[in-house]
């Protein structure tokens, strides 16, 4: 099931690589909402992989407004006999929300892909 979030990055995305060299970015999105006169915030931990992870980290920073499309998954672990669970968004797309800003697009410096066009 796809989930869509709109919110702000709480920190700069963190880029890491697996042992096989696959890029992974982890980031948290704060989603604000209003209920009556009260403001509420919910925080969602997110991950994204491969070239999108690299592009996210090169393009967006703490405080940027983003739109995230992804799937929910539940992580489970145990520590000192106590069981924990956490819902994580496995993002398939992340984009800058242009409600309050403009953006300039450019090709990544090196994607390792070659595109041929016949025109």
Structural domain range at position 80: 2-96
Categorise residue 96: left if φ over 0, alpha if ψ from -120 to 50, beta otherwise. Answer: beta
pLDDT of residue 110: 59
- The answer as to whether 118 is a domain residue is no
Task: Tell me what percent of the residues of the chain surpass a pLDDT of 90.
Answer: 77
Per-position b or e across 100-113, b if 16+ CB within 10 A of its CB: eeeeeeeeeeeeee
- The answer as to whether 116 is a domain residue is no
Lowest mean pLDDT among 8-12, 44-48, 110-114: 110-114
Which domain CATH number covers 82? 2.40.50.140
Q: What is the pLDDT of residues 52-96, one digit of tens each?
A: 999 999 999 999 999 999 999 999 999 999 999 999 999 999 999
Q: Which helix (H) or strand (E) holds 14?
A: strand 14-17
| Degrees to nearest 5, angle at CA 6 with 15 and 83 | 65
């Amino acid at each position: 099931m796809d989930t869509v979030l709109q919110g702000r990055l709480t920190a700069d995305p963190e880029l890491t690589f697996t042992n096989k060299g696959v890029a992974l970015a982890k980031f948290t999105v704060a989603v604000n909402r209003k209920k009556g006169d009260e403001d509420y915030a919910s925080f969602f931990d997110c991950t994204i992989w491969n070239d999108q992870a690299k592009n996210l980290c090169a393009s967006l920073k703490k405080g940027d407004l983003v739109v995230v499309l992804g799937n929910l998954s539940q992580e489970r672990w145990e520590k000192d006999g106590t069981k924990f669970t956490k819902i994580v968004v496995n993002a398939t797309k992340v984009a800058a929300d242009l409600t309050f800003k403009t953006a300039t697009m450019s090709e990544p410096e090196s994607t390792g892909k070659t595109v041929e066009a016949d025109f």
